[in-house]
Amino acid sequence: MKSDQERIQRRYDRIAPLYDLLERPMEASFVAWRVQLLTKAAGRVLEVGVGTGKNLPYYPPDVSVTGIDFSREMIERARSRVESQGLDNVTLIEMNAEELSFEDNSFDTIVSTCVFCSVPLPVNGLRELQRVCRPDGRVLMLEHVRSEGPVMGPLMDFLNPLPLYLYGANINRRTVDNLLQAGFQHIEVTNLWRDIVKQIIARPGA
pLDDT by residue for the chain (206 residues), tens only, comes to 357 777 777 777 677 666 656 666 677 778 999 999 999 999 999 999 999 999 999 999 999 999 999 989 889 999 999 999 999 999 999 999 999 999 999 999 999 999 999 898 999 999 999 999 999 999 999 999 999 999 999 999 999 999 888 777 899 999 999 999 999 989 999 999 999 999 999 999 76
For residue 16, what are the contacts with CB-CB under 8 A and spacing of at least 6? 52, 71, 73, 74, 76, 77
Return the CA Rg of the chain.
16
* Strands of the sheet with 107-113, listed across from one edge: 90-94, 64-69, 44-48, 107-113, 133-144, 197-203, 185-193
Indicate the fold that domain 4-203 takes in CATH: Rossmann fold (3.40.50)
pLDDT score for 168: 76
* pTM attached to this predicted model: 0.90
C-beta neighbour count of 163 within 10 angstroms: 16
pLDDT score at 177: 96
Cα separation of 65 and 43, whole Å? 9
| Contact predicate 97/68, CB 8 Å | yes
Helices (H), the chain: 4-38, 72-85, 122-132, 152-159, 161-167, 175-182
